[in-house]
Amino acid sequence: MKKINSAEIARQAGVSRSTVSRVVNSYSNVPSDTRDRVMKVINENEYYPLLCGQLLAGKRTGTIGFFWISDSPIANDIQSSSFFVHVTEAATEMGYLVLACILKNLSDKDNIEHVKKIYMQERIDGGIFIGIDNHEPLIDELVSKNKIAGVFDYHRPECAEPNRISVNFETSTGIKAIDYAVSMGHTKIAILDGNPERYSCLTRHEGFLAGLEKHNIPIRKEWIANADITEEHGYKAALDFLSNAQELPTCICCQNDSVAFGAYKALREKGISIPGQISIIGIDGHFRGQLMNPPLTTFEFNFKKFFRSLVTRTISAIEGKDGYDTTEFIDSVLVERGSVLDLRK
Amino acid sequence: MKKINSAEIARQAGVSRSTVSRVVNSYSNVPSDTRDRVMKVINENEYYPLLCGQLLAGKRTGTIGFFWISDSPIANDIQSSSFFVHVTEAATEMGYLVLACILKNLSDKDNIEHVKKIYMQERIDGGIFIGIDNHEPLIDELVSKNKIAGVFDYHRPECAEPNRISVNFETSTGIKAIDYAVSMGHTKIAILDGNPERYSCLTRHEGFLAGLEKHNIPIRKEWIANADITEEHGYKAALDFLSNAQELPTCICCQNDSVAFGAYKALREKGISIPGQISIIGIDGHFRGQLMNPPLTTFEFNFKKFFRSLVTRTISAIEGKDGYDTTEFIDSVLVERGSVLDLRK
DNA sequence: CTGAAAGCGCTTACAG
DNA sequence: CTGAAAGCGCTTACAG
């Protein structure tokens, strides 16, 4: 079974390679009898044009990179894992393949090099990033090299290149969380903040503070802790904070649901009941929230929407379309479950 | 910023393209001063050889395909999602990239075509499959075309091609599950069987029956139900079976943990206590098992090991090594949690 | 140790 | 409507 190329198809069909190429690429200027004859030979031989030849002649790869930066094991988190599926499904629907890449961090030079190499070798037409700091230099570099980068949770309004694309969480969730806590009668509100390098964490942090101010609730430093973005950090931060606080809050607003799960664990260990003694509010709408005891009240985001938006616009950039937005903000929906006590009753 | 190719590097470094190629590919027959001079120019220009040129000249892609066939939404299952991570991490460690592809099924001609095309365009050096029937013709076809396929849960001892690679669950889990149930004093044992097209389901089914026979427990047809491999099916099968059985068993051996989760749900709805009235035994070691109430007793597999084994041997085939096993069987470990009542006490 | 040349497979602008 | 030719970027066997 020798390898077959377009010359062999041309020979068998009695046409030139140009015509074979025209048929393969569905050009209109081929009479249907010629087309049929060529297609017959193609099918008989199960001929598929080699991608490398097409690329060399200037075609695109039809592939997007999916770069996932996370130093915690993604494998153990349903929510994160689902992101991969969302990206792949969205790309597949648009006729693109996904080259997946998991990296522990971008502080390692080798990892940066790995990503650059994938772009520069032209393995992909563009890439999607998740887990990136808002000022990651790698993105700047790729953008300046005219590479296309679609980044999850990333906002750089001072930059307006059409190849710097992003999707973001609404910026109002922090304030919405405080509004809700207050509406349930809470004024003793603690905050488990996130990693300020992440755009979402920053806006949530600012929202929390703005919310407190709006309702004339004095900010108590000892009730604000940094919990990064993982359950583990949330647990430690909550434990630390519960052990040292002189007075306990009645409600904890968490930077995200994973952090909230950590807080659950810490509260349980301390023998503090949820929501009897302390209420908890999450952000994200993590699958696990509904399995918790009590089920977590949270501001839910539709992550499928995030990735669809990001993939769609990244592909628009790849295909040279215009008129797409370089960023988009996605709204949350409050999902009231069992973790917040109504103090007004 | 014009595109730079090996000719330009050669020009700047005052050597031929052959020498540039030798430096890029770390050939030994280049004196170190020449090498340094060329490397300097390469670095200054941030030159990366285009993959398509290398491929055309005969290099490999350094990419493996990951084909995931599942008609249920993978996104919602932690265990399945983790598979993606295991494959990607194993491949990355071996210097390979992963081209990911999710397909709802292989009964659709378009999906078959999609997979074949990816192979035939030479986008990948080989592929990993999960969710495949044991006699899927696509695998036979790829193998006959000298393509390399590494399949999860697939055993065809009658075939011995070096490019048909697989990793499997030990075949003894079914019998081990019955042994364990009997050792806990159970003799009224029901079985939630799986999809017999899957090799693992088949061997578990046979193991269950062999186990009953071994312990001289008569097989009661009304206590054997087909539950496919999902929670949903497990739920329906258990509900159906509980509604119609004239006598209830004291223990249910499930084909896998997902099916067991379905059984939990059915039992809860029927007001039957676990393990008070009915014990449940799972197989897999699904993350969720430990979060269940009561935590699920199961035969746990190390899935990381599965994918590492599969990826490693698939890459051995790609690289033309020999001496690798075309299949490997992975053992389970009994994890006793709270879902099995000890009737001997 | 090194270069000229052949070869890999495709597409497309051009000419007819 | 169709073909001959140029061009895309690399590697490697060969000759020296």
Q: What is the pLDDT of residues B83-110, one digit of tens each?
A: 888 999 999 999 999 999 989 899 999 9
> B73 falls in which pLDDT band (50, 70, 90)?
low
Task: Let me know if residue B338 belongs to a domain.
Answer: no
Is residue B2 predicted with pLDDT exceeding 90?
A: no
B344: in domain:
no
Output the pLDDT for position B229: 86
Asked if A94 has any chain B CB less than 8 Å from its own CB, the reply is no
Nearest to A99 among B53, B99, B291 (CB): B99
A6, A46, A105, A121: which to substitute to probe chain B, counting the most B Cβ within 10 Å?
A: A121
- Which helix or strand (DSSP H or E) is residue A232 part of? helix A231-244
From A16's Cα to the closest Cα of chain B, the distance in A is 21
B40/D14 CA-to-C1' distance in Å: 29
CA A240, A244, A250: angle at the middle one, nearest 5?
90
Helix/strand number for chain A, H first, E second: 12, 12
pLDDT band at B77 (very low <50, low <70, confident <90, very high): low
Residue B343 covered by a domain = no
Q: How far apart are CA A208 and CA A281, in angstroms?
A: 12
CA nearest to nucleotide D7 C1': residue: A57
Same domain? For A179 and A294 the reply is yes
Q: What number is the average pLDDT over the span B56-73?
A: 90
Residue A78's pLDDT is: 67
The answer to whether residue A311 is domain-embedded is: yes
Average of per-residue pLDDT across B309-315: 97
B160 interfaces chain A, CB cutoff of 8 Å: no
Residues written for chain A: 345
Instruction: Classify residue A341: in a domain, yes or no.
Output: no
Cα–chain center distance at A336: 24
Cβ of residue B50 closer than 8 Å to a chain A Cβ:
yes
Instruction: List B residues 163-222 in contact with A (Cβ-Cβ < 8 A).
Output: none
Cis ω before A196 (30° cut-off from 0)? no
Distance, CA of B142 to C1' of C13, in Å: 38
> At residue B335, what are phi and psi to the nearest 5 degrees?
-115, 105
Measured between beta carbons, which residues in chain B are less than 8 angstroms from residue A1?
145-146
At residue A224, the pLDDT reads 93
pLDDT for B49 = 96
Q: What's at B148, amino acid-wise?
A: I
User: Can you give the CATH number for the domain in which A48 is found?
Assistant: 1.10.260.40
Contact A102 B85 (CB under 8 A): yes
Q: Do B150 and B261 lie in a common domain? A: no
Closest nucleotide to B17, Cα to C1': C3
pLDDT at B310: 98
- Does residue B75 surpass a pLDDT of 60? no
The pairing of beta strand B251-254 with beta strand B189-193: parallel
Count of the separate structural domains present in chain A: 3
Is residue B80's pLDDT more than 80?
no
Q: Do B121 and A77 touch (CB under 8 A)?
A: no
pLDDT-flagged residues of chain A (< 50): none
The contacts of residue B331 (CB under 8 Å, 6+ apart) are: B170, B301
Assign residue A58 a region: left if phi > 0, alpha if psi is -120 to 50, beta otherwise?
A: left
pLDDT tens-digit map of B261-294:
999 999 999 999 999 999 999 999 998 899 898 9
Neighbours of B168 (CB within 10 A): 20
The verdict on B82 touching A (C-beta cutoff 8 Å) is yes
How many helices (H) and strands (E) chain B has is answered by 12, 12
Distance from CA of B188 to the nearest CA of A (A): 32
Contact state of A100 with B99 under an 8 Å Cβ cutoff: yes
Is A103 inside any structural domain?
yes
B287–A76 CB contact, under 8 Å: yes
B52, B94: one domain? no
Domain at B185, CATH number: 3.40.50.2300
Q: Residue A182 belongs to what H/E stretch?
A: helix A173-183
Which residues are CB-neighbours of B129 under 8 A, at least 6 positions away? B67, B69, B139, B149, B150, B151, B152, B154
In a domain, A345, yes or no: no
Structure tokens at A245: 């606080």
> Could you read off the pLDDT of B193-234 as tens digits, one per residue?
998 999 999 999 999 999 999 999 999 998 999 988 889 999
Mean pLDDT for B299-316 is 96
Looking at the fold, whether A144 and A210 belong to one and the same domain comes out as no
B41's enclosing H/E stretch is helix B32-45
Q: Are residues B166 and B198 in the same domain?
A: no
- Dihedral of alpha carbons A270, A274, A276, A282, sign: positive
Same domain, A137 and A215: no
Kindly list the strands in the beta sheet with B164-169, ordered across the sheet, starting from the edge strand earlier in the chain.
Answer: A327-330, A164-169, A149-152, A126-130, A63-69, A97-103, B97-103, B63-69, B126-130, B149-152, B164-169, B327-330
Same-domain check for residues A94 and A18 = no
Partner-chain residue, chosen from B75, B89, B145, that has the shortest CB–CB distance to A85: B75
How far is residue B323's CA from residue B327's CA, in Å, rounded to a whole number?
12
| Predicted pLDDT at B246 | 87
Both A139 and A103 in a single domain? Answer: yes
The answer to whether A78 faces chain B, any CB pair under 8 Å, is: yes
Whole-model pTM? Answer: 0.92
Taking C1' of C7 and every protein CA, the nearest residue is: B57
What residue ranges in A23-78 does DSSP mark as E strands? 63-69
B66 contacts on A by Cβ (under 8 Å): 100
Which helix H or strand E contains A74, and what residues bound it?
none
Tracing tokens 């973005």 back to the chain, one arrives at A229
Put simply, the chain A residues between 269 and 328 with a CB less than 8 A from any chain B CB are 287, 291
b/e burial code for range B305-344 (CB count within 10 A of at least 16 → b): ebbbbbbbbbbbbbeeeeeeebbbeeebeeeeebbbbeee
Q: How far is A75 from chain B (nearest CA, A)?
A: 4
* B133 plus B218 within the same structural domain: no
Asked whether the beta carbons of residue A99 and residue B102 sit closer than 8 angstroms, the reply is no
Residues B71 and B136 in one domain: yes
Note whether A235 and A314 are same-domain residues: no
| Exposed / middle / buried, residue B217 (Cβ in 10 Å: 0-12, 13-18, 19+) | middle
User: Who contacts B57 (Cβ-Cβ below 8 Å, separation ≥6)?
Assistant: none
Examine the domain organization and report whether B129 and B111 are in the same domain.
Answer: yes
**A89 interaction partners in chain B (CB closer than 8 Å):** 102
Please report whether residue B154 resides in a domain: yes
Q: How many CB atoms are located within 10 Å of the residue A130 CB?
A: 23
Q: Which domain holds residue A47?
A: 6-56
CB-based contact B171:B328 (threshold 8 Å): no
Q: At what angle are helices A32-45 and A6-13 packed, to 10 degrees?
A: 120
Tell me which protein residue sits closest to nucleotide D5, measuring alpha carbon to C1'.
A18
Query: H/E element holding A161?
Result: none
Q: How many CA atoms lie within 13 A of B127 on its CB side?
A: 28
Which of A48, A120, A123 comes nearest B120 by C-beta? A48
A242/D14 CA-to-C1' distance in Å: 77
DSSP A270: T
Q: In this predicted structure, what is the pLDDT of residue A73?
A: 64
